[in-house]
Amino acid sequence: MTTTDTARARPGAVAITLAVFGGTIAWAFRFGLGYLLVPAACEIGDWLLHLVTLGTALLALAALVLSLRWARRLDDAPLRFSMWFGVALNVFFLAAILLEGSGVLFVDACAKAALP
Amino acid sequence: MSAADAPVQQVDLDVLERTWGPRRPGIVGWLGQCNHKAVGLRFIVTAMAFFLIAGAMALVMRTQLAAPENDLVSPEVFNQLFTMHGTLMMFFFAVPILEGLAIYFLPLQLGARDMPMPRFGAFGYWVYLAGGILLLSSFFFGAAPDGGWYAYPPLTTAAFSPGLNIDLWLLGVTLTEISAIVAAVEIIVLIFRSRAPGMTLARMPLFGWSMLATSAMILVAFPPLVVTSLLLEIERKLGTPFFDGTAGGDPLLWQHLFWWFGHPEVYIQLLPALGILATVIPVATRRRLPMRWLVVASFLAIAIVSFGLWVHHMFTTGIPHLALQFFSSASFMIAIPSGVIVLSFIAAFWTGRANFDPPTLFAIGFLVIFVFGGITGVMVGTVSFNFQAHDTYFVVGHFHSVLIGGNVFPVFAGLYHWFPKVTGRHVNRRAGQASFWLMLVGFMLTFVPQHVVGFLGMVRRMWTYEEGLGWEVWNLASSLGSGILGLGVGVSVVAFAVAWRGGEPAGGDPWGAPTLEWSTASPVPQHNFPVIPVVASAEPRWGPLNRPDPVEASPWYAALGNPPEGQRETPVTTPIHGRSAAVALLPTHSLWPLWTTVAIMVVLIGVLFDLWWLAGVGVVLVTASLVAWTWPAGRTDLREADIRETEPTPLDGPDRGRNVRTFRVVTDGGRSIGWWGTVNGVIALGHLVGATAVATVYLRSRTVTWPPTATEPPGVTAIVIAAGLALVAAVSTSLAERGTRSGRAARPVAALLLVLAGAFALAGGLIHLIVTLRGNLPVDEHAFWAIWWLIGATSFVLLVSATITAWVTAWHLGKRDVIRTGHDAELAPVRLWVWSCAVSVVALLAVAMGSAVWWG
């Protein structure tokens, strides 16, 4: 396959969705799982939450690489537009995953308090 | 050939005007109007009326708080005032006015003839008005809601709030939520299927992008509020303990479901406002908006992350600190896309040539106030600070900065910007400028002191306060400021009213604006555009291919020939690339959306006053109105044309001239408007069902005794059979649809399959009804039984709706003009809906049984 062929090959709908929204989906998983697994982390250790952060960060990174690659290569203008904002979304959600995940390093998973 | 080269004949314009105008003269014709301009304007005017009423309530509250130990109003009335002020502003002004602006101007910006489902849009307005009337009628019953705008139980349960107050709040708010969902469905279908040929998603105006993100958010955020409002209403009427911690329920369930709606709601109010500013600022600065694609990405990022913030309203409820930290981080992160948009606006002002017309001033006001509110938002998003500031006046000052800066100022910018398009007249420039300065100064004087007095310890919702606490001067300043703010609003209202009749004529495009709405006359004719525009850039009226006017007849549409008078045709384009795909027929104006709303009100009045026979009559009336509403129109001209696509190269890229396609009047399957509308309706249904399932799982996770006894719920076998019948009904609709589409099944066979589908669904629904009614469930003793009852009742309603849909369509199959052999424009949505109802019934049953069996 020549470079021109690669440039013109149009990815499928699922691939486009994953490239544009992969980071978003990864963040949603990290957010939901993180919230639900805090009591479990209190029982068995913080490594559980670090694992979730690592896995979802890698997914977001993969989506970022894919969207960046296609944003440079695709001919179709609307698709290129989609890929560029996919790049922006993936960078943003990767940062969100890392910021939220870093909190596990500093906050005790068992601590809680309420106003009377 | 451009419009300038081939002017449209006046006779054709007259036919268009008669086709798209009201069918009847007088008040009946006016009430029956479903045109997007009529519906949009009604939303705008009604929302402004609610804004003024709620603003007047705020002034009374500020007068009460101007001095210590004041007794202008009683504590009871003060509770009613802050509840109604918040409710009217949040539910009846901030979102509806943006929906109104979108319904009015988005079809014009996208080059459409009308909204894709005009009767549905009219229904949305009438339901909204009914909700407002229901809420305000509480004053006449002496039962104005008084539980705060977020109505936390147990305060709002029947034990602590007897009387009609909270019932009126719950039903009124539910109606306006339904109205918002209706508008969201319509706007999504408009954006994906009714854009002008050549308008790719990349070329869509930013207001369209903001409304797309907002509408998607509404479909996800509003159904849970509908569910939780209904749960509370059922608890008040039947004693079901969904929110009673002593009987398997949990008051925090309300907070989770409410804020799952409530925090995205803030951004639902913000995003369209940003879209308005993205429309106004390029005009004000004479340049395209910098970083356009990054602004679009920011809209989407805000829409998504806003669903990760709901617990930041619940920091003090005992949730583990580490979980709070996740929500706190999300609160910080949302500042990034918000900042990108603000920087884009600032860059436009920095590099453009700004004027100081009223729309520009209000846009600048947004920048000042919203940035201030955003910074205090990051403060309250910090867990440690939030514990200190929770429920103080600091929070009141913060959210008014966000809402007035992020919603009211942009709305006023939009009103001044688009007023000449609606009326053909200019608003007085000096009046607009005076209004802006009064509102800005009034805002600052009102809300900056509230931050200070919050730090000094004043909590929100205080009726009065003692002298000597050091709060007097701040409260007096705040009250004076509110008067100035009110005066500023008043100046604008008077200026609009005067200009409506006596303003200077504005012409078609007084601003030299880039978007399509300025390509047609002011006021806009009934048919919007003489010919359907063709678009070649993101700023159609500024792009080199379209200067000076983008209006150009589409050759494929010309090849079809003119429709007969009275046949309302609108082009359907592809979702991403905006290529011409087909022509859809839109229904005419109708009073049935209004009658349906009246019938719904009959049901609600029956429920409110425990007149169950009246509620039953209302249900029959609702059903009859819906059947009449969807009754097929008379004979239509179903023309076809095989033509070679000849649209300009920039619109269709390398495919130009290659394809010979058949364009049809009447669309099929995935191209039909009905199918797209149903898909969005199914998304909303999915979130209704999902919220019910989440409530079940949440209550199960918080309760040790679930189910409360070892006894099996009554009628489990019968309910499983009912779920099976629902699935059989769904399969029958699939067979009918496939047979009709392929032409294999004769029309009577397809009709018979639909009749059978309806019968299976009805049988399943009746089994649910009988089991629910005859099971003698102790619904007031434990939340498990209440959930079991709720799922039975919901399944009954879903399956009856599937029955009616299938049977009405079977009846339509007898009319050859409506459903032609080989076409599935009506059957595909029916199949989708019946399947959705069946799957929902099975899913709810699985969750209820799973909660009892798997974790019990």
Residue B535 to residue B547: CA distance in whole angstroms: 11
pLDDT at B336: 94
CB atoms within 10 A of CB A75: 13
For residue A58, the distance in angstroms to the closest alpha carbon of chain B comes to: 19
pLDDT at position B548, please? Answer: 43
Measured CA to CA, the distance from residue B187 to residue B673 in angstroms comes to: 12
pLDDT digits (tens, 9 = 90+) for B23-54: 778 888 899 999 999 999 999 999 999 999 99
Distance CA B34, CA B20 (A): 10
Select the residue from A33, A35, A64, A93 to test the B interface by mutation, using most B Cβ atoms within 10 A: A35
Q: What percent of chain A has pLDDT over 90?
A: 57
Report the pLDDT value the prediction gives residue A2, as an integer from 0 to 100.
47
Q: Decide if B545 contacts B536 (C-beta within 8 A).
A: yes
| Inter-CA distances, B355 with B124, B362, B363, B847, Å | 37, 12, 11, 59
pLDDT band per the 50, 70, 90 thresholds, residue A97:
very high
Task: Indicate whether A89 belongs to any domain.
Answer: yes
Total Cβ atoms within 10 A of residue B752: 16
Instruction: Tell me, yes or no, whether A69 lies in a domain.
Output: yes
Coil/strand/helix, residue B642: strand
Chain B residues with CB under 8 Å of a chain A CB are 200-202, 293-294, 296-298, 300-301, 304-305, 308, 311, 316-323, 325-326, 328-330, 332-333, 336-337, 387, 390, 576-577, 653
- Greatest alpha-carbon pair distance for chain B in Å reads 86
Is B148 strand, coil or helix?
Answer: coil
Query: Tens of pLDDT along B701-741?
Result: 888 788 887 677 778 889 999 999 999 999 999 998 887 77
When CB atoms are compared, the residue of A34, A77, A88 closest to B326 is A34
Which has the minimum average pLDDT: B137-146, B240-249, B540-549? Answer: B540-549
What whole-number distance in Å separates Cα of residue B856 and Cα of residue B854?
A: 6
Task: Look at residue B666 in the predicted model and tell me its pLDDT.
Answer: 53
Asked if residue A65 is part of any domain, the answer here is: yes
pLDDT at B644: 52
Q: How far is CA B531 from the centre of its chain?
A: 30
A93 lies in a domain?
A: yes
In chain A, residues with a C-beta closer than 8 Å to the C-beta of B200 are 77-78, 81
> Among B465, B447, B340, B473, which Cα is nearest to B393's?
B447
Q: Is residue A5 part of a domain?
A: no
CA-CA distance, B804 to B622, in Å (whole number)? Answer: 12
Question: Which pLDDT score is estimated for A13?
Answer: 82
Question: What proportion of chain B, given as a percentage, has pLDDT over 70?
Answer: 89
**For residues B226 and B133, what is the distance between their CA atoms, to the nearest angstrom?**
18
User: Above pLDDT 90, what percent of chain B?
Assistant: 68
Instruction: Write down the pLDDT at residue B479.
Output: 97
Contact B616, B606 (CB under 8 A): yes
Q: B711 exposed, middle or buried (CB, 10 Å; 0-12, 13-18, 19+)?
A: exposed
Q: What is the pLDDT of residues B341-399, one digit of tens each?
A: 999 999 999 999 999 999 999 999 999 999 999 999 999 999 999 999 999 999 999 99
Q: What average pLDDT does range A96-100 have in this prediction?
A: 94
**What average pLDDT does the segment A59-87 reach?**
88
Q: Compute the average pLDDT of residues B466-494.
A: 97
Query: What per-residue confidence (pLDDT) applies to B635?
Result: 55
Computed from CA positions of residues B421, B424, B429, B434, in that sequence, does the dihedral angle turn out positive or negative?
Answer: negative
Q: What are phi and psi of B635, to 5 degrees?
A: -60, 140
Length of chain A as a residue count: 116
* Banded model confidence at residue B651, pLDDT cuts 50, 70, 90: very low
Banded pLDDT at B553 (limits 50, 70, 90): low
Would you state the torsion angle of the CA atoms of residues B726, B728, B732, B738, taken in this order, to the nearest 10 degrees? 100
Query: Is the Cβ–Cβ distance between B776 and B677 less than 8 Å?
Result: no
Specify the pLDDT at position B403: 96
Angle between helices B827-853 and B716-742 (to 10 degrees): 160
Under 8 Å between Cβ of B90 and B50: no
Please return the burial class of A95, using the count of CB atoms within 10 Å of its CB with bins 0-12, 13-18 and 19+. middle
Q: Which residues of chain A make contact with B323, given a CB cutoff of 8 A? A: 34-35, 38
Joined tokens for residue B731: 């399969």
Range of lowest pLDDT (A21-25, B207-211, B669-673): B669-673
User: If you measure CA to CA, which chain A residue comes closest to B383?
Assistant: A113
Could you tell me if residue A9 is inside a domain?
no
Q: What's the pLDDT tens digit per position in B512-536?
A: 899 999 989 999 999 898 877 888 8
Whether the predicted pLDDT of B546 surpasses 70:
no
| Residue from the list A49, A92, A108 with its beta carbon closest to the beta carbon of B337 | A92
Q: Which residue has the higher pLDDT, B639 or B835?
A: B835
Is the link from the previous residue into B154 a cis peptide, with omega within 30 of 0?
Answer: yes
Higher pLDDT, B305 or B816: B305
Does residue A112 lie in a domain region? no
pLDDT attached to residue B669 = 52
Inform me whether the pLDDT recorded for B241 exceeds 70. Answer: yes
Q: If you average pLDDT over residues A39-53, what whole number do you get?
A: 93
What pLDDT sits at residue B544? Answer: 65
Secondary structure percentages of chain A, helix, strand, coil, to 5: 80, 5, 15
Mean pLDDT lowest for which of B100-114, B632-646, B687-701?
B632-646
Structural domains of chain B sorted by starting position, each given as residue range(s) with its CATH number in brackets: 10-502 (1.20.210.10), 598-632 (no CATH), 670-853 (1.20.120.80)
Mean residue pLDDT across chain B:
88
Domain that residue A72 falls in: 15-104
Q: How many domains are contained in chain A?
A: 1
B62 close to B89: Cβ distance less than 8 angstroms? no
Segment among A11-15, A44-48, A73-77 with least mean pLDDT: A73-77
Asked whether A96 and A26 are in contact (CB, 8 A), the reply is no
- Average pLDDT on B112-127 reads 94
Q: What is the spatial distance between Cα B757 and Cα B734, in angstroms, rounded to a whole number?
A: 10
For B22, phi then psi, to 5°, come to -65, 145
Closest by Cβ to A104, choosing from B298, B305, B322: B322
Residues of B in contact with A100 (CB under 8 A): 325-326, 329-330
List residues bridging with B641 in a β-sheet.
B663
pLDDT at B1: 39
- Name which of B834, B818, B848, B534 is nearest B720 in CA terms: B848
Distance from CA of A31 to the nearest CA of B (A): 7
Nearest to B683 by CA among B219, B40, B246, B189: B219
Q: Contact at 8 Å (CB) between B119 and B34?
A: yes
Which tokens sit at B778?
A: 């102790």
Task: Tell me the C-alpha distance between B253 and B693, whole Å.
Answer: 12
Q: Determine which of B199-213, B394-408, B510-524, B670-684 has the lowest per-residue pLDDT on average.
A: B670-684
Q: Are B65 and B38 in contact (CB under 8 A)?
A: no
- Confidence at residue B574, expressed as pLDDT on a 0 to 100 scale: 86
A75 confidence band (pLDDT: 50, 70, 90): confident
ipTM topping 0.85: yes
Lookup: tokens for B638: 């179903």
Q: Angle at CA A34, nearest 5°, toward A32 and A40?
A: 120
